[in-house]
Structure 1
């Protein structure tokens, strides 16, 4: 039962995804059908030049359809699986063209790849490759651009090798199919040969392959033999064959391949799905002229295991019924090759020597088709009634996503331009001006001999103006936080050489998510501590709450190694909206810094109770607590009443330069507010 439910879920998602992709291409399909229809109409009234122009546009639309299918499918799959479509789309296009061109799977009119099945497979394979080995779009402004570029090149080279294999495999499959055609020796002019011919046409059409192109030689021979037989019959030299081109066109393609006029009427008569009914009414004018793409791709029939069965079966049943009726003499043999766009019932009248029996036979065939289609359609519609809602929502989402595709590209380009500006700004900061550390003290209210400092990065421009740390966002956008953190480590360790570390003074450094998740950061810290001759016990690493969500395993290992070395590890900004108590239990922190926002509105009983509750976490975790953002005497007394001994905030001192921090250490007196601007 469990496996059955899994298979059912896969099936539902499969049909939904296929239908969404084809729905996105419906405007192109409808435009092609209308263009073709109008072109034939213009031909009838002798506007041949204008008709040829429309036929050219129709061929163009047919030519670009497989490429559009490939691009949209790859974009849809990439978006669904969280892979950047800007990476997947070029891969799928390369694979589609590489497989199609050498194997001559191209349009005669445009020279463009024209096989929808290859288009779908190319999109699927490309998405799988990019999902299995995720790549991000190249960003020249990133400091690790060269490294990322080499990854892209290596990945693409491997993909090209796979492409070569797939090209050879496709060639092999085509050769085998040609051999199969050679030995198959289909003869549509015989009963069993006609059944096999119709079965293969339906099966290929159900997976998006033009069966007439695949069986071109058989179709061409059928057309020529039919013309010769009609000419001989008209000359009185031979009887009319039961089977011929007109037989297949008039009775087995009513409403389009699969006798889909029966499916359309089945939907109108029995469906309770509003979307299906609307689709059927929209398709009705086209189906009456044997253009059925709207139904095939709208329901969809193509690639739908449920509807493929009647789609293939109805023409076979129709074949037997019509063949029997003509053979038994109930209906006149087909005496002409009717234009394929001739509406049903009219085509039956013309084809059977202007006989109403041909029309009646067509009505019977349509009714039989409705009977065959009905259980399969109702099963599909009933099973997907709830899914159709999801399809509608997903389609709208996908349509809006697709609609914004060029917008995404433009936005990406604007982002690259913006990052280029950021890169230039960061480069100027690195080459001009000065990065420097400021230090804000952490005071032990019960022991003024135990001082610690939090190191905070500042930048002084060439004019001597001190800038706040907003520039850190520039480094984040460039993906250069590890480089910035390493620079900060060197600046802090340089300053620590001038501090009285022997008295137990510690200095805390904030580490970014990118850095603490790097498995090499501990080795780097050990090397720099040795270089500056600083004991690990004098250093403290502060990790912001959101960092520990990045990579639990690496972060946990790094914390454990740092603590083993004697480096204190603190969680910063606790309570700011990211961390939770499970994180404190999962990671063995030495210190917890309560965020400044928790002190807001402590005059309210609720906020006061919350802070008092958080102050008790040290009893559970064994962590030392630090109250950040203490700015008033009332706040100082409150946190002290909560049992918190270590405080930090403007009430004691703003962040200050190294020289001011050294002077402050000599003059500070607990209980006297000393502020250094």
Structure 2
């Protein structure tokens, strides 16, 4: 059951997205059909020079189509999963070319890779690789540019190795397919051989493989035998065969392989899905000329376990019906090889010696096809309310992606400009001025030997002016919080070497979500403590509950290891919006810091009761409480009444440079705790 749900998840995530991708390629497909039709029209009226121009344009569009499919698919999947497309798109293009060129899967006219199935697989594999191992796009102005560059190089090298393996695997598959084709002996001129031939054509087409190319030997022989039989019939030397190239083209490929004109009419007659109706109307001009790629990939039919069944079965049933009608003489046998782009009903009239019985037979085949397609199609779209809601959400995502396709480009450009400004600002801060640490005391009202500090980073400009920590948002925008945290750890540990660290004295460092959820953070902290010769017992790590929500498992493991080393773990800003009691019970925090906002309205009875209730969590969670933001005598007395003995706030002291903090600590050590300690 679990495997089925996983497969269904992958189907919903990737296969159904193909329909959205092909809507993006709709203009290219329609233009190709138009140029091909115009070329045939000019050729028919003997304007061969003009016809050759339009045939050239058609070949050009066909040539770039697989590459466009690869690029847009990789872009769409990357955007959907929040991965930068500038990373995924080059990977997919590399994989597509690397697999196609050595295996001769290229166009003879353009030399470009020409296999749509390989294009889709290359885009999906590349996207999965980049989603599984996410990388930030290279930005020379980032402070972690060098390390990011090396990660990109390593990731790209591993992908190159994968590409070589996939190219070799494709070669093996192609060689095996040649052996299979050699062993397959089909005779489309016999009844059972014709059924087998049509079955293989449908089955291959349903998984995105051009069956006519795969069975080229049989198709070529069919074409030659048909030409010879028609010539002998016209000379009066032989009877006209029922089965021939014209039989398959005129009656078993109406609207394209799978007799998809029946599916198109089924959608128009019975569908309540607005997107499917729009798709069918868009595909109608193409299906008239037997071009069914839009339906094949737009619904999609390929890789679709439901629609594959009628796609294969309808031509087989049509084969039996048409063969029977011609055998008993209701309809004339096919006497010519009709051009494959000839519209249905016209092709039936021409193929059956200009007989309207051929048109009627085609109409019967289309109606039978509709009847077969209908239950499968309705099952595919679903009729239950839950199915409709799920599909609606899927289509809403598709519409959202379509609407944002061009908007993302503009947004990306403006985001890049903004990010570049931030990068320049951070670079100036790193090269001019300095980052310094300030320290705010945490006062233990009943034990003056329990004095601790919270470290807070500040920036001092070249003019000596101290700036508030608004620059932290800049580091967040650049995705460089781990680098900032590492710098803070080093600055604090250097300062701790100058402190008189009594057994109960601790220095707290605020760690970002990005850092505390990193599996390498523990090793880094241990290495830095050893380098500066600081005992873990004097270090305290403060995290917000946002970090717990972001990566529950990894954060839990990091907390447990840090605590085992003797490092105190505190949860900061409890009560500010993220915090909740279940997390206090789930994680064994040493300290909980009640957010300043909880003291704003303690004159109000309701807020006062809430604070008193929160003050009792230490009894449940077994942790130490700290009252943050104590700024007045009244607030100090209130938190004391609530049973909280450790306070931090402007009432006692603002954050101070290291030297001032050391002087302040000496003053406290020689003074009884009283209201006179405030600064």
Band of TM-score, shorter chain: 0.7 to 0.9
Structure 2, unmatched stretches of 5+, are none
Residues 270-322 of structure 1: CA deviation (Å, up to 9, x unaligned): 44545444544444444333333343333333332222222222222322332
Measure, in 2, the Cα distance between the counterparts of 1:363 and 1:125: 43
Structure 1 CA distance, aligned partners of 2:66 and 2:23?
14
More deviation in 579-588 or 404-413?
A: 404-413
SS of residue matched to 1:437: strand
Judge conservation of contact 2:537–2:567 (CA < 8 Å) in 1: yes
Measure, in 2, the Cα distance between the counterparts of 1:71 and 1:170: 20
Which residue is 1:230 aligned to?
Answer: 230
Aligned twin of 1:205: 205
CA–CA distance in 1 between the matches of 2:511 and 2:371?
71
Structure 2 contact 444–450 (Cα < 8 Å) conserved: yes
Q: Deviations over 1:164-189 (max 9, x none)?
A: 23223322322333333334344433
For each residue in 1:466-497, what CA deviation from the matched residue of structure 2 results, as whole angstroms up to 9, or x when unmatched?
Answer: 11122333444455545544544454455455
Give CA-to-partner distance per residue, 1:137-192, whole Å, 9 cap, x none.
Answer: 33444444434433333333333233223223322322333333334344433334
Counterpart residue number, 1:334 = 334
Aligned residue for 2:625, secondary structure, equals strand
Quick one: distance in 2 between partners of 1:503 and 1:169? 64
Kindly indicate whether the alpha-carbon contact (under 8 Å) linking 1:630 and 1:649 is maintained by their aligned counterparts in 2. yes
Q: CA deviation at 1:588?
A: 3.4
Do the aligned partners of residues 170 and 497 (structure 1) sit closer, same or farther apart at CA in structure 2, a change above 3 Å counting? closer
Q: Is the contact between residue 188 and residue 194 of structure 2 (CA under 8 Å) also seen in structure 1?
A: yes
Matches within 5 A, 1:187-198: 187-198=187-198
Of 506, 523, 537 in structure 2, the residue corresponding to residue 520 of structure 1 is 523
Give the 3-state SS of the residue equivalent to 1:334 in structure 2: coil
- Listed one character per residue, the Cα deviations across residues 518-559 of structure 1 (whole Å, up to 9, x for unaligned) are 1214423532552xxx66555444334434445556655655
Kindly tell me the number of residue pairs found equivalent between the two proteins: 673
Contact 2:382 2:388 in 1 (8 A): no
8 Å Cα contact 2:628/2:648 also seen in 1? yes
Higher alpha-carbon deviation: 102-111 or 209-218: 209-218
Residue number in structure 1 paired with 2:357? 357
1:422: Cα distance to partner?
4.4
Q: Confirm or deny: 8 A CA contact 1:590 1:624 kept in the other structure.
A: yes
Contact 1:268 1:280 in 2 (8 A): yes
The match for 2:586 is 586
> Are 1:444 and 1:646, in contact at CA under 8 Å, matched by a contact in 2?
yes
Matches within 5 A, 1:421-436: 421-436=421-436
State the alpha-carbon separation in 2 of the partners of residues 395 and 411 from structure 1. 23
User: Is the 2:332–2:358 contact (alpha carbons within 8 Å) kept by the matching residues of 1?
Assistant: yes
Unpaired segments of 5 or more residues in structure 1? none
CA contact (8 A) 2:497 2:532 kept: no
- CA positional deviation for 1:110: 2.3
- Structure 2 distance, partners of 1:9, 1:623, is 42
Partner of 1:616: 616
Please say if residues 522 and 558 of structure 1, whose CA atoms lie closer than 8 Å, have aligned partners that are also in contact: no
Equivalents in 2 of 1:208, 1:557: separation in Å? 46
Alignment match, 2:606: 606
> How far off its partner does 1:616 sit?
1.3
SS for the counterpart of 2:509 is strand
Give the equivalent residue in structure 1 for 2:543. 543
CA 42–603 in structure 1, closer or farther in 2 if over 3 Å, else same: farther
Q: Choose 102-111 or 328-337, whichever is displaced more.
A: 328-337
Query: Contact conserved, 1:569 with 1:590, CA < 8 A, in 2?
Result: yes
In the other structure, the counterpart of 2:471 is 471
- Give the CA deviation at 1:596: 0.9
Distance 1:588 1:493 in 2: 25
Per the alignment, do residues 264 and 406 of structure 1 end up closer, same or farther by CA in structure 2, a change over 3 Å counting? closer
Mean Cα deviation higher: 246-255 or 30-39: 30-39
Give the distance between the partners of 1:157 and 1:441, measured in 2 at CA. Answer: 50
The question of whether the paired residues in 2 share the 8 Å contact of 1:515 and 1:521 is answered with: no
Question: Matches of 2:445 and 2:530 in 1, distance apart?
Answer: 35
Q: Distance in 2 between matches of 1:179 and 1:450?
A: 81
> Structure 1 634/120 Cα, relative in aligned 2: closer, same or farther at 3 Å?
same
Distance 2:544 2:143 in 1: 24
1:96 corresponds to: 96
Deviates more, 1:29-38 or 1:573-582: 29-38
Contact 1:24/1:399, CA 8 A, preserved across alignment: no
* Mapped contact 1:198–1:316 kept (Cα < 8 A): yes
Report the CA distance shift for 1:629/1:167 in structure 2 as closer, same or farther (over 3 A).
same
Q: TM-score, normalised by structure 2?
A: 0.87
Q: Distance in 1 between matches of 2:552 and 2:355?
A: 80
Instruction: Output the CA distance in 2 between the equivalents of 1:197 and 1:453.
Output: 81
8 Å CA contact retained: 1:529, 1:535: no
Given that 2:141 and 2:427 are in contact with CA atoms closer than 8 Å, whether structure 1 keeps it comes out as no
Correspondences of 1:8-19 after superposition (within 5 Å):
16-19=16-19
2:522 and 2:561 in contact (8 A); partners too:
no
- Say whether the 8 Å CA contact 1:440–1:453 is kept in structure 2: yes
Q: Distance in 2 between matches of 1:370 and 1:410?
A: 44
Q: Secondary structure at the match of 2:643?
A: coil
Q: How does 1:145-164 map to 2 (within 5 A)?
A: 145-164=145-164
Cα deviation code 1:363-411 (max 9, x no counterpart): 3333333343344334334468854654454244234335545654665
- CA–CA distance in 2 between the matches of 1:336 and 1:564? 86
* Offset at residue 613 of structure 1 (A): 0.9
SS at match of 1:227: helix
**SS where residue 630 of structure 2 aligns?**
coil
Q: 1:480 to 1:47 in 2, by over 3 A?
A: same
Question: What's the CA shift string for 1:106-158, capped at 9, x where partnerless?
Answer: 22232221112222222333334344444443344444443443333333333
Aligned mates of 1:392, 1:352 — CA distance in 2 = 46
RMSD over aligned Cα atoms: 3.5
How big is the shift at 1:341? 3.0
Q: How does the TM-score come out when normalised to structure 1?
A: 0.87
Distance 1:426 1:52, change over 3 A: same
CA contact (8 A) 2:144 2:483 kept: no
1:588-624 deviation line (CA, Å, top 9, x unaligned): 3333221111112222222221111111122223333
CA distance in 2 between partners of 1:562 and 1:298 (Å): 53
> What's the CA shift for 1:654?
1.9
Partner of 2:54: 54
